[in-house]
Amino acid sequence: MKIQLAIQVAGGQARRDRPGIETVIEDARMAEDLGFGVVYTPDHFIFERLGTLQTDLPTYDLFFVMSTLAQRTTHIRLGSQVACMLYRHPATTARLFAQIDETSGGRVVAGVGAGWTRAEFDMFGLEFPPIGERLRRMDEAVDIMRGLWANDRFSYEGKYYRVRDAILLPRPVQRPGPPLLLGGSGNGILRRAGRWADVIHMTPAIGGEGTTTIPTVAAFSDAVVREKLAIVSEEAVRAGRPANAVRYASTIYSYGPTSSPTETRQLAEQLSGLFGLSPSELLRHPVVLAGTPEEMAEEIHRRVETHGLWELTVNFADTTQLRVFGESVIPKL
């Protein structure tokens, strides 16, 4: 079995014990020492958790965090999870990814998405188009980004963006560009992943609603993952790519370490009612990882064997959780 483990810093469960950029750096460096492969940073003006804005947490700019970590780490890869392609002109996004790829020695993972948190757009007076238009804007933005990375000069004429005989220097160290990770799980995202992404980072399909809800999260079940991956594979073949061209990644947003199988069952029974799932369904849910180190390792093995899970990102509430996972779970993988 082979799986890459990642950590998300300053994410939906940002560190309330010691919020701040130094904690982000500390967690990233510890993850590097423990053997994690990637450190991901989200792209938000404000965090949201199940419809509630986390107004007491600082939100650092995605590229500020990535560039800081490029200087304060040595070999762990640096990813976005994910860059909202509507927040910046695509040439700006391409330029930032390229420069961080240069300064980090080719460690960037370029995660992209169409944006989903309606409250962020409303708060800062940004247009929040319907999901279909957001996806089409993302299409054009990604086309421009890839074109600027790969060509000496690049021109593009779209409905939303255009560039003319454009030059982008420096180009990324990784050629023709950093790997592209696409975030989401709606059908529009899945089809696009099949056509051009290197990685599909699957999350509950919340782009249409513009907020996270318990029913939407619950609907993103272990059984549904297989169906969604089939759509990605079918679209990849339709685009002339191998059926397995796109790797599957997911993120743990509900991390629940326990000290015994009995405690694991009690935790599952406690949380399952909230989501309308059975305890066994909860423990297999793609955004949940709960149990003893042995149970966690066994469940990760199952996801690899059942769905071909290639990368798992975990949100930790504190440094102790990060350290214990690194010391007690990673060796079992």
38-47, 52-61, 201-210, 288-297, range with the lowest pLDDT: 201-210
CATH number of 4-332: 3.20.20.30
Print the SS3 string covering the chain.
Answer: CCCEEEEECCCCCCCCCCCCHHHHHHHHHHHHHHCCCEEEECCCCCCEECCEECCCCCCCCHHHHHHHHHHHCCCCEEEECCEECCCCCHHHHHHHHHHHHHHHCCCEEEEEECCCCHHHHHHCCCCCCCHHHHHHHHHHHHHHHHHHHHCCCEEEECCCCEEEEECCCCCCCCCCCCCEEEECCCHHHHHHHHHHCCEEEECCCCCCCCCCCHHHHHHCCHHHHHHHHHHHHHHHHHCCCCCCCCEEEEEECEEEECCCHHHHHHHHHHHHHHHCCCHHHHHHCCCEEEECHHHHHHHHHHHHHHHCEEEEEECCCCHHHHHHHHHHCHHHC
Q: Where are the domains of the chain?
A: 4-332
Give the pLDDT of residue 152: 96
pTM: 0.92
**pLDDT tens across 89-99, in order?**
999 999 999 99
